[in-house]
């Protein structure tokens, strides 16, 4: 079984912390990663893609170690790095992400831990996702900004509900016609 842990780090230091952890941790036991997202934007009439952090200020670690074992291994590593602020916890004994939260991220992300763009149609006041990681998950979409090509979705991470912006391209808008 794989556990996921979350470190809160200084803003802008995510990649530096990830590289530090890769050097400090045994890759057969614990692997750091940063969840990413693809964003879409239009510049000079062309839709461009860019990759950004999904949760700025956080670095995740996937590990085979259970909570107590992980704390024993990670505490000295955290104490040696001033860019790591803290290890997120539910309580002093519960520190790994809940399976439901982890599975939501796994289902949305590709093998590189990146949430790609989704594509949808707006029919009246309803949205239908026709392709991408949000397909079938219309219920988590809280708001759509067509001009910015993004959707605000609701995710629970470490027991906290967060609104996260992800790429959503609306390919068609269908208005209802009334006779």
- 18 C-beta neighbours (distance < 10 Å), count: 18
Mean pLDDT, contiguous 10-residue spans, the chain (179 residues): 95 97 96 94 83 95 95 94 95 90 94 94 87 91 89 90 91 69
User: How many domains are contained in the chain?
Assistant: 1
Measured distance CA(97)–CA(11) in Å, rounded: 21
Lay out the sheet containing 84-87: strands in order across: 30-33, 58-63, 3-9, 84-87
Q: What is the pLDDT of residue 42?
A: 79
On whether residue 84 sits in a domain, the answer given is yes
Nearest to 35 by CA among 95, 113, 141, 111: 113
Inside any domain, residue 179: no
Residue 108: give its domain's CATH number: 3.30.70.940
Q: What is the pLDDT of residue 179?
A: 54
Only one residue has tokens 């996260």, namely: 164
Residues 61-90 pLDDT 10s: 999 999 999 999 999 999 999 999 999 999
| Domain region containing 38 | 3-174
pLDDT number for residue 178: 60
């Amino acid at each position: 079984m794989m556990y996921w842990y979350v470190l809160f780090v200084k803003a802008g230091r995510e990649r530096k912390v990830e590289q530090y952890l890769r050097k400090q941790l045994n890759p057969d036991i614990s692997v750091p990663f940063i969840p990413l997202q693809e964003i879409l934007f239009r510049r000079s009439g062309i839709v461009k893609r860019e990759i950004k952090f999904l949760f700025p200020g956080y670095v995740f670690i996937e590990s085979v170690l259970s909570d107590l074992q992980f704390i024993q291994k990670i505490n000295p590593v955290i104490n040696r790095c001033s860019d790591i602020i803290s290890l997120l916890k539910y309580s002093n004994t519960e520190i790994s992400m809940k399976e439901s939260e982890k599975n939501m991220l796994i289902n949305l992300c590709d093998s590189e831990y990146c949430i790609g763009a989704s594509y949808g149609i707006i029919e009246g006041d309803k949205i239908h996702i026709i392709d991408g990681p949000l397909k079938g998950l219309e219920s988590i979409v809280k708001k759509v900004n067509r001009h910015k090509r993004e959707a605000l979705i609701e995710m629970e991470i470490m027991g906290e509900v967060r609104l996260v912006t992800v790429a959503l391209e609306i390919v068609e808008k269908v208005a209802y016609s009334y006779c």
